A and B are shown apart, each in its own frame.
Chain A
Amino acid sequence: MPPEVSAGYAQRAMNKAETAWVEIKIDYMTVADALYWDRTIQADIVADGIREMMAGRPMPRADLYWTWTGLRVLFPLAQRLNRRRCRALSVFVENDLGQGVPAGMVLLIEQYPWLFPLQAPATESTFLWFIASAPRESLIKRGVEDPPPLGRILIDTALVTSSALGHEGQMWLHAAPAGGARLIGFYVNTCKLRQLGQGAQLPNGIGSDGRHCYASAVLATRLIDELQLTR
Protein backbone atom coordinates (compact mmCIF):
# COMPACT_ATOMS: atom_id res chain seq x y z
CA MET A 1 0.00 0.00 0.00
CA PRO A 2 1.31 3.49 -0.78
CA PRO A 3 1.98 5.71 2.22
CA GLU A 4 -1.16 7.53 3.33
CA VAL A 5 0.48 10.08 5.55
CA SER A 6 3.39 11.97 4.11
CA ALA A 7 6.59 11.64 6.16
CA GLY A 8 8.91 14.56 6.85
CA TYR A 9 12.56 14.69 5.87
CA ALA A 10 15.11 13.10 8.20
CA GLN A 11 16.25 15.07 11.24
CA ARG A 12 19.11 12.90 12.39
CA ALA A 13 21.51 10.30 11.01
CA MET A 14 23.54 7.52 12.60
CA ASN A 15 27.27 8.20 12.88
CA LYS A 16 29.77 6.08 11.01
CA ALA A 17 30.53 3.87 14.01
CA GLU A 18 26.77 3.37 14.48
CA THR A 19 27.01 4.34 18.12
CA ALA A 20 25.22 7.70 18.23
CA TRP A 21 22.73 9.90 16.39
CA VAL A 22 23.96 13.09 14.77
CA GLU A 23 21.46 15.90 14.26
CA ILE A 24 21.05 17.01 10.65
CA LYS A 25 18.94 19.70 9.04
CA ILE A 26 17.56 19.35 5.54
CA ASP A 27 16.69 22.73 4.08
CA TYR A 28 16.27 24.37 0.70
CA MET A 29 19.59 25.02 -0.98
CA THR A 30 20.46 28.65 -1.64
CA VAL A 31 23.05 29.82 -4.15
CA ALA A 32 25.29 30.72 -1.23
CA ASP A 33 25.16 27.11 -0.04
CA ALA A 34 26.15 25.97 -3.53
CA LEU A 35 28.95 28.54 -3.70
CA TYR A 36 30.31 27.38 -0.37
CA TRP A 37 30.23 23.77 -1.54
CA ASP A 38 32.04 24.57 -4.79
CA ARG A 39 34.77 26.60 -3.11
CA THR A 40 35.48 24.17 -0.30
CA ILE A 41 34.07 20.66 -0.47
CA GLN A 42 34.07 20.40 -4.26
CA ALA A 43 37.67 21.66 -4.24
CA ASP A 44 38.56 18.74 -1.97
CA ILE A 45 36.70 16.31 -4.23
CA VAL A 46 38.62 17.61 -7.25
CA ALA A 47 41.96 17.44 -5.43
CA ASP A 48 41.29 13.84 -4.38
CA GLY A 49 40.21 12.97 -7.91
CA ILE A 50 43.32 14.43 -9.49
CA ARG A 51 45.50 12.55 -7.01
CA GLU A 52 43.78 9.26 -7.80
CA MET A 53 43.98 9.73 -11.56
CA MET A 54 47.63 10.79 -11.38
CA ALA A 55 48.25 7.51 -9.60
CA GLY A 56 46.67 5.69 -12.52
CA ARG A 57 43.50 4.79 -10.68
CA PRO A 58 40.00 5.35 -12.11
CA MET A 59 37.98 8.50 -11.39
CA PRO A 60 36.86 8.00 -7.79
CA ARG A 61 33.59 9.92 -7.89
CA ALA A 62 30.97 10.70 -10.51
CA ASP A 63 30.69 14.31 -9.33
CA LEU A 64 34.29 15.26 -10.04
CA TYR A 65 33.36 17.84 -12.70
CA TRP A 66 30.14 19.15 -11.18
CA THR A 67 29.60 22.77 -10.25
CA TRP A 68 26.73 23.02 -7.81
CA THR A 69 26.35 26.77 -8.38
CA GLY A 70 25.56 26.02 -12.01
CA LEU A 71 23.31 23.11 -11.12
CA ARG A 72 21.42 25.22 -8.60
CA VAL A 73 20.93 28.22 -10.87
CA LEU A 74 20.73 26.98 -14.45
CA PHE A 75 19.05 23.58 -14.20
CA PRO A 76 15.80 24.72 -12.51
CA LEU A 77 15.54 27.47 -15.13
CA ALA A 78 15.95 24.86 -17.85
CA GLN A 79 13.25 22.68 -16.38
CA ARG A 80 10.97 25.68 -16.14
CA LEU A 81 11.08 25.83 -19.91
CA ASN A 82 9.76 22.25 -19.83
CA ARG A 83 7.08 23.30 -17.33
CA ARG A 84 8.61 21.27 -14.56
CA ARG A 85 9.73 22.27 -11.09
CA CYS A 86 13.03 21.35 -9.50
CA ARG A 87 13.80 21.10 -5.82
CA ALA A 88 17.29 21.69 -4.44
CA LEU A 89 18.03 20.65 -0.88
CA SER A 90 21.11 20.74 1.32
CA VAL A 91 21.76 18.46 4.26
CA PHE A 92 23.53 20.39 7.00
CA VAL A 93 25.61 19.25 9.96
CA GLU A 94 26.86 21.54 12.71
CA ASN A 95 30.51 22.50 13.06
CA ASP A 96 32.40 23.54 16.18
CA LEU A 97 31.65 27.23 15.50
CA GLY A 98 27.89 26.74 15.60
CA GLN A 99 27.53 26.96 11.80
CA GLY A 100 25.70 24.64 9.45
CA VAL A 101 28.06 23.03 6.96
CA PRO A 102 26.49 21.47 3.84
CA ALA A 103 27.27 17.75 3.97
CA GLY A 104 24.94 16.61 1.24
CA MET A 105 23.37 18.17 -1.87
CA VAL A 106 20.27 17.13 -3.79
CA LEU A 107 18.70 18.36 -7.01
CA LEU A 108 15.54 16.63 -8.17
CA ILE A 109 12.75 17.17 -10.65
CA GLU A 110 9.56 17.14 -8.67
CA GLN A 111 7.28 15.72 -11.32
CA TYR A 112 8.47 13.48 -14.13
CA PRO A 113 6.76 10.67 -16.06
CA TRP A 114 6.85 7.34 -14.25
CA LEU A 115 8.54 4.30 -15.78
CA PHE A 116 5.54 1.98 -15.52
CA PRO A 117 2.44 4.18 -15.68
CA LEU A 118 0.04 1.40 -16.68
CA GLN A 119 0.66 -0.73 -13.60
CA ALA A 120 1.11 2.02 -11.03
CA PRO A 121 -1.09 3.97 -8.58
CA ALA A 122 0.22 7.25 -10.06
CA THR A 123 1.39 8.13 -13.57
CA GLU A 124 3.98 10.63 -12.36
CA SER A 125 7.09 10.25 -10.23
CA THR A 126 10.03 12.21 -8.89
CA PHE A 127 13.31 12.11 -10.81
CA LEU A 128 16.40 12.31 -8.64
CA TRP A 129 18.77 14.25 -10.87
CA PHE A 130 21.95 14.93 -8.87
CA ILE A 131 23.11 13.98 -5.39
CA ALA A 132 26.45 14.37 -3.68
CA SER A 133 27.74 13.80 -0.19
CA ALA A 134 30.82 15.49 1.20
CA PRO A 135 33.92 13.39 1.87
CA ARG A 136 34.21 12.65 5.57
CA GLU A 137 37.69 14.18 5.81
CA SER A 138 36.47 17.35 4.16
CA LEU A 139 33.84 17.85 6.86
CA ILE A 140 36.19 16.97 9.71
CA LYS A 141 38.60 19.59 8.34
CA ARG A 142 35.78 22.12 8.64
CA GLY A 143 35.07 21.44 12.28
CA VAL A 144 32.41 18.72 12.00
CA GLU A 145 33.30 16.27 14.73
CA ASP A 146 31.60 13.06 13.62
CA PRO A 147 30.09 13.33 10.10
CA PRO A 148 27.43 10.69 9.46
CA PRO A 149 27.12 8.74 6.20
CA LEU A 150 24.25 10.30 4.23
CA GLY A 151 23.66 8.01 1.24
CA ARG A 152 20.33 6.58 2.37
CA ILE A 153 19.21 9.97 3.68
CA LEU A 154 19.79 11.60 0.26
CA ILE A 155 17.73 8.92 -1.50
CA ASP A 156 15.09 9.29 1.19
CA THR A 157 14.62 12.98 0.37
CA ALA A 158 13.45 11.99 -3.12
CA LEU A 159 11.15 9.26 -1.83
CA VAL A 160 9.61 11.59 0.76
CA THR A 161 9.22 14.38 -1.81
CA SER A 162 7.50 12.01 -4.24
CA SER A 163 5.17 10.86 -1.50
CA ALA A 164 4.34 14.41 -0.40
CA LEU A 165 3.62 15.47 -3.98
CA GLY A 166 1.16 12.65 -4.55
CA HIS A 167 3.38 10.39 -6.65
CA GLU A 168 3.11 7.60 -4.08
CA GLY A 169 6.85 7.59 -3.43
CA GLN A 170 7.64 6.54 -7.00
CA MET A 171 11.13 7.71 -7.85
CA TRP A 172 13.86 6.95 -10.35
CA LEU A 173 17.32 8.09 -11.24
CA HIS A 174 20.17 7.50 -13.62
CA ALA A 175 23.49 6.38 -12.15
CA ALA A 176 26.12 8.54 -13.84
CA PRO A 177 28.32 6.39 -16.12
CA ALA A 178 31.36 8.05 -14.56
CA GLY A 179 30.46 6.28 -11.30
CA GLY A 180 30.95 2.86 -12.91
CA ALA A 181 29.72 -0.38 -11.35
CA ARG A 182 30.48 0.94 -7.88
CA LEU A 183 27.74 3.58 -8.14
CA ILE A 184 25.16 1.06 -9.34
CA GLY A 185 26.19 -1.16 -6.42
CA PHE A 186 25.63 1.75 -4.04
CA TYR A 187 22.10 2.37 -5.32
CA VAL A 188 21.12 -1.29 -5.44
CA ASN A 189 22.89 -2.74 -2.39
CA THR A 190 23.14 0.18 0.02
CA CYS A 191 20.04 2.14 -0.96
CA LYS A 192 18.01 -0.96 -1.90
CA LEU A 193 16.67 0.46 -5.17
CA ARG A 194 15.78 -1.77 -8.13
CA GLN A 195 17.82 -1.67 -11.33
CA LEU A 196 16.02 -1.26 -14.66
CA GLY A 197 17.10 -3.80 -17.26
CA GLN A 198 19.21 -2.71 -20.20
CA GLY A 199 16.96 -1.85 -23.16
CA ALA A 200 13.84 -1.34 -21.02
CA GLN A 201 11.81 1.47 -22.52
CA LEU A 202 11.95 4.87 -20.81
CA PRO A 203 9.03 7.35 -20.91
CA ASN A 204 10.66 9.18 -23.84
CA GLY A 205 10.71 5.95 -25.87
CA ILE A 206 14.45 5.42 -25.65
CA GLY A 207 15.91 2.20 -24.23
CA SER A 208 17.65 2.31 -20.87
CA ASP A 209 21.40 1.84 -20.77
CA GLY A 210 20.90 -0.36 -17.73
CA ARG A 211 21.98 2.34 -15.31
CA HIS A 212 18.53 3.50 -14.23
CA CYS A 213 17.41 2.61 -10.71
CA TYR A 214 13.96 3.09 -9.25
CA ALA A 215 11.59 2.61 -6.35
CA SER A 216 7.99 1.60 -6.97
CA ALA A 217 5.25 2.73 -4.59
CA VAL A 218 5.48 -0.47 -2.56
CA LEU A 219 9.27 -0.33 -2.29
CA ALA A 220 9.18 3.39 -1.47
CA THR A 221 6.80 2.75 1.42
CA ARG A 222 9.17 0.17 2.81
CA LEU A 223 12.26 2.34 2.38
CA ILE A 224 10.60 5.38 3.94
CA ASP A 225 9.45 3.23 6.82
CA GLU A 226 12.94 1.83 7.36
CA LEU A 227 14.20 5.35 8.16
CA GLN A 228 11.41 6.23 10.60
CA LEU A 229 13.89 6.58 13.45
CA THR A 230 15.70 9.36 11.59
CA ARG A 231 12.61 11.61 11.40
Chain B
Amino acid sequence: MTKMTVMLRSEESTGNSPVAAASAGAASAIASGGSSALASVSLREVIQRVSEIAALSPTEVASRMGTEEGSQVARIDTDAVETEGLLRSWKSIGRASPKPLTDEQYEKFLNGEHPVTETAELYGAHLKAKPKAKQQRKKSISRSPRNASSSPR
Protein backbone atom coordinates (compact mmCIF):
# COMPACT_ATOMS: atom_id res chain seq x y z
CA MET B 1 0.00 0.00 0.00
CA THR B 2 1.42 3.31 -0.99
CA LYS B 3 1.06 6.49 0.93
CA MET B 4 -2.30 8.16 0.59
CA THR B 5 -2.40 11.58 -0.92
CA VAL B 6 -5.56 13.58 -0.95
CA MET B 7 -6.35 14.18 -4.55
CA LEU B 8 -9.01 16.82 -4.44
CA ARG B 9 -7.48 20.26 -4.63
CA SER B 10 -8.76 22.27 -1.72
CA GLU B 11 -7.56 25.72 -2.66
CA GLU B 12 -10.99 26.98 -3.58
CA SER B 13 -13.41 28.29 -1.05
CA THR B 14 -16.39 25.98 -0.69
CA GLY B 15 -18.73 28.60 0.66
CA ASN B 16 -21.69 27.73 2.84
CA SER B 17 -24.12 26.38 0.26
CA PRO B 18 -25.78 23.01 0.83
CA VAL B 19 -24.03 21.77 -2.27
CA ALA B 20 -20.68 22.71 -0.85
CA ALA B 21 -21.54 21.13 2.45
CA ALA B 22 -22.65 17.92 0.77
CA SER B 23 -19.57 17.85 -1.41
CA ALA B 24 -17.12 18.58 1.34
CA GLY B 25 -17.06 14.91 2.22
CA ALA B 26 -15.88 13.96 -1.23
CA ALA B 27 -12.22 14.56 -0.52
CA SER B 28 -12.20 12.39 2.54
CA ALA B 29 -14.41 9.91 0.73
CA ILE B 30 -11.89 9.30 -2.00
CA ALA B 31 -9.03 9.51 0.45
CA SER B 32 -10.61 6.79 2.56
CA GLY B 33 -10.26 4.47 -0.40
CA GLY B 34 -6.75 3.91 0.83
CA SER B 35 -4.65 4.41 -2.21
CA SER B 36 -2.31 6.81 -3.90
CA ALA B 37 -3.19 10.01 -5.72
CA LEU B 38 -6.19 9.74 -8.00
CA ALA B 39 -6.61 12.82 -10.05
CA SER B 40 -6.59 16.55 -10.00
CA VAL B 41 -10.30 16.94 -9.48
CA SER B 42 -10.85 20.25 -7.82
CA LEU B 43 -13.39 20.68 -5.08
CA ARG B 44 -15.17 23.23 -7.24
CA GLU B 45 -15.47 20.63 -9.97
CA VAL B 46 -16.84 18.09 -7.51
CA ILE B 47 -19.48 20.58 -6.40
CA GLN B 48 -20.40 21.26 -10.02
CA ARG B 49 -20.71 17.59 -10.82
CA VAL B 50 -22.75 16.79 -7.72
CA SER B 51 -25.13 19.66 -8.52
CA GLU B 52 -25.41 18.49 -12.12
CA ILE B 53 -26.29 14.94 -11.10
CA ALA B 54 -28.77 16.14 -8.49
CA ALA B 55 -30.60 18.29 -11.03
CA LEU B 56 -31.34 15.34 -13.32
CA SER B 57 -33.68 12.41 -12.81
CA PRO B 58 -31.94 9.09 -12.10
CA THR B 59 -33.09 7.85 -15.52
CA GLU B 60 -31.51 10.83 -17.28
CA VAL B 61 -28.26 10.35 -15.38
CA ALA B 62 -28.15 6.64 -16.19
CA SER B 63 -28.79 7.30 -19.88
CA ARG B 64 -25.95 9.80 -19.99
CA MET B 65 -23.60 7.27 -18.41
CA GLY B 66 -23.91 5.11 -21.51
CA THR B 67 -21.90 7.55 -23.58
CA GLU B 68 -18.27 8.54 -23.30
CA GLU B 69 -19.11 12.23 -23.08
CA GLY B 70 -22.00 11.85 -20.63
CA SER B 71 -20.06 9.58 -18.31
CA GLN B 72 -17.47 12.31 -17.64
CA VAL B 73 -19.69 13.49 -14.78
CA ALA B 74 -18.60 10.42 -12.80
CA ARG B 75 -15.08 10.25 -14.18
CA ILE B 76 -12.30 10.11 -11.61
CA ASP B 77 -8.91 9.21 -12.93
CA THR B 78 -7.73 6.15 -11.04
CA ASP B 79 -4.72 5.36 -13.22
CA ALA B 80 -2.26 6.21 -10.46
CA VAL B 81 -3.92 3.93 -7.94
CA GLU B 82 -2.06 0.83 -6.89
CA THR B 83 -4.33 -2.12 -6.35
CA GLU B 84 -2.17 -3.79 -3.76
CA GLY B 85 -3.88 -3.58 -0.41
CA LEU B 86 -7.29 -2.66 -1.77
CA LEU B 87 -8.73 -6.14 -1.37
CA ARG B 88 -10.18 -7.13 1.96
CA SER B 89 -9.41 -10.49 3.48
CA TRP B 90 -12.33 -12.87 3.03
CA LYS B 91 -12.66 -13.30 6.78
CA SER B 92 -12.95 -9.57 7.40
CA ILE B 93 -15.91 -9.22 5.05
CA GLY B 94 -19.24 -9.24 6.81
CA ARG B 95 -22.73 -9.39 5.42
CA ALA B 96 -24.75 -6.20 5.10
CA SER B 97 -28.16 -6.07 6.67
CA PRO B 98 -30.98 -4.84 4.42
CA LYS B 99 -32.25 -2.69 7.28
CA PRO B 100 -31.67 1.08 7.13
CA LEU B 101 -28.47 2.59 8.48
CA THR B 102 -28.54 4.98 11.40
CA ASP B 103 -27.80 8.64 10.61
CA GLU B 104 -24.29 8.24 12.02
CA GLN B 105 -23.62 5.14 9.93
CA TYR B 106 -24.94 6.89 6.83
CA GLU B 107 -22.51 9.77 7.37
CA LYS B 108 -19.67 7.23 7.33
CA PHE B 109 -21.08 5.78 4.12
CA LEU B 110 -21.18 9.22 2.52
CA ASN B 111 -17.54 9.65 3.44
CA GLY B 112 -16.72 6.54 1.41
CA GLU B 113 -16.14 4.33 4.39
CA HIS B 114 -17.77 1.12 5.46
CA PRO B 115 -20.72 2.31 7.54
CA VAL B 116 -20.45 -0.37 10.20
CA THR B 117 -16.89 -1.69 10.34
CA GLU B 118 -13.73 0.32 10.94
CA THR B 119 -11.47 0.64 7.90
CA ALA B 120 -8.47 -0.79 9.73
CA GLU B 121 -10.41 -3.97 10.48
CA LEU B 122 -11.22 -4.38 6.80
CA TYR B 123 -7.93 -3.54 5.17
CA GLY B 124 -5.40 -4.09 7.92
CA ALA B 125 -3.34 -1.82 10.07
CA HIS B 126 -1.36 -0.44 7.14
CA LEU B 127 -4.26 1.87 6.25
CA LYS B 128 -4.97 3.44 9.59
CA ALA B 129 -2.13 3.28 12.03
CA LYS B 130 -3.53 3.00 15.51
CA PRO B 131 -2.10 4.98 18.41
CA LYS B 132 0.55 3.04 20.27
CA ALA B 133 -1.41 2.93 23.50
CA LYS B 134 -4.36 1.34 21.74
CA GLN B 135 -2.15 -1.21 20.04
CA GLN B 136 -0.66 -2.24 23.37
CA ARG B 137 -4.11 -2.51 24.87
CA LYS B 138 -5.25 -4.69 22.00
CA LYS B 139 -2.24 -6.95 22.50
CA SER B 140 -3.06 -7.43 26.13
CA ILE B 141 -6.68 -8.16 25.27
CA SER B 142 -5.74 -10.72 22.67
CA ARG B 143 -3.65 -12.58 25.24
CA SER B 144 -6.72 -13.12 27.35
CA PRO B 145 -8.05 -16.65 26.82
CA ARG B 146 -11.61 -15.34 27.07
CA ASN B 147 -11.11 -13.33 23.89
CA ALA B 148 -9.07 -15.90 22.07
CA SER B 149 -11.87 -16.84 19.70
CA SER B 150 -13.24 -13.40 18.99
CA SER B 151 -13.53 -12.56 15.30
CA PRO B 152 -13.52 -9.15 13.58
CA ARG B 153 -17.25 -9.11 13.00
Contact (Cβ within 8 A) A25 B94:
yes
Cα of A31 to Cα of B70 in the assembled complex, Å: 22
Closest to B99 in A: A164
Select the residue from A8, A32, A33, A78 with max chain B CB neighbours within 10 A.
A32
- List residues of chain B with CB within 8 A of the CB of A35: 33-35, 38, 78, 81, 83, 86
Within the complex, which residue of A69, A79, A81, A85 is in contact with B30, where a contact is CB–CB below 8 Å?
A: A69
**A interface, CB within 8 angstroms of B:** 6-9, 11, 25-28, 30-36, 38-40, 62, 65-67, 69-82, 85, 88-89, 92, 94-95, 98-101, 109-110, 112, 127, 129-130, 160-161, 163-165, 174, 176-179, 202, 204, 206, 212
Cα of A73 to Cα of B112 in the assembled complex, Å: 6
Contact (Cβ within 8 A) A70 B50:
no
Question: Shortest 10 CB-CB distances between A and B: which pairs?
Answer: A178-B66, A70-B74, A31-B33, A164-B98, A31-B112, A78-B53, A65-B71, A36-B86, A78-B54, A81-B54
Can you list 10 A-B pairs, Cβ within 8 angstroms, ordered by A?
A25-B95, A31-B113, A36-B86, A69-B33, A76-B110, A77-B23, A88-B109, A129-B58, A178-B67, A202-B57
- List residues of chain A with CB within 8 A of the CB of B115: 28
Does B44 count as interface, using CB distance less than 8 angstroms?
no
Within the complex, which residue of A65, A74, A202 is in contact with B49, where a contact is CB–CB below 8 Å?
A: A74
Closest to B29 in A: A73
A77/B93 contact (C-beta < 8 A), A30-B119, A100-B88, A109-B58 known: no
Q: How many A-B residue pairs have CB under 8 A?
A: 195
Interface residues of B in 83-127 (CB under 8 A from A): 83, 86-101, 106, 109-110, 112-116, 119, 122-123
Cα of A202 to Cα of B86 in the assembled complex, Å: 40
Closest to A109 in B: B58
**B interface, CB within 8 angstroms of A:** 18-19, 22-23, 25-26, 29-30, 32-35, 38, 46, 49-54, 57-59, 61-63, 65-68, 70-71, 73-76, 78, 81, 83, 86-101, 106, 109-110, 112-116, 119, 122-123
Contact (Cβ within 8 A) A25 B93:
yes
- List residues of chain A with CB within 8 A of the CB of B19: 81
Contact (Cβ within 8 A) B65 A176:
yes
Closest to B72 in A: A65
Contact (Cβ within 8 A) A6 B29:
no
Cα of A78 to Cα of B19 in the assembled complex, Å: 8
- List residues of chain B with CB within 8 A of the CB of A71: 74
Within the complex, which residue of A6, A28, A163 is in contact with B116, where a contact is CB–CB below 8 Å?
A: A28
Within the complex, which residue of A25, A77, A92, A177 is in contact with B110, where a contact is CB–CB below 8 Å?
A: A77
Within the complex, which residue of B26, B89, B94, B113 is in contact with A98, where a contact is CB–CB below 8 Å?
A: B89
Contact (Cβ within 8 A) B33 A34:
yes
Closest to B70 in A: A65
Select the residue from A31, A71, A72, A73 with max chain B CB neighbours within 10 A.
A73
Q: How far is the CB of A68 from chain B (nearest CB, A)?
A: 8
Q: How far is the CB of A165 from chain B (nearest CB, A)?
A: 6
Contact (Cβ within 8 A) A80 B53:
no
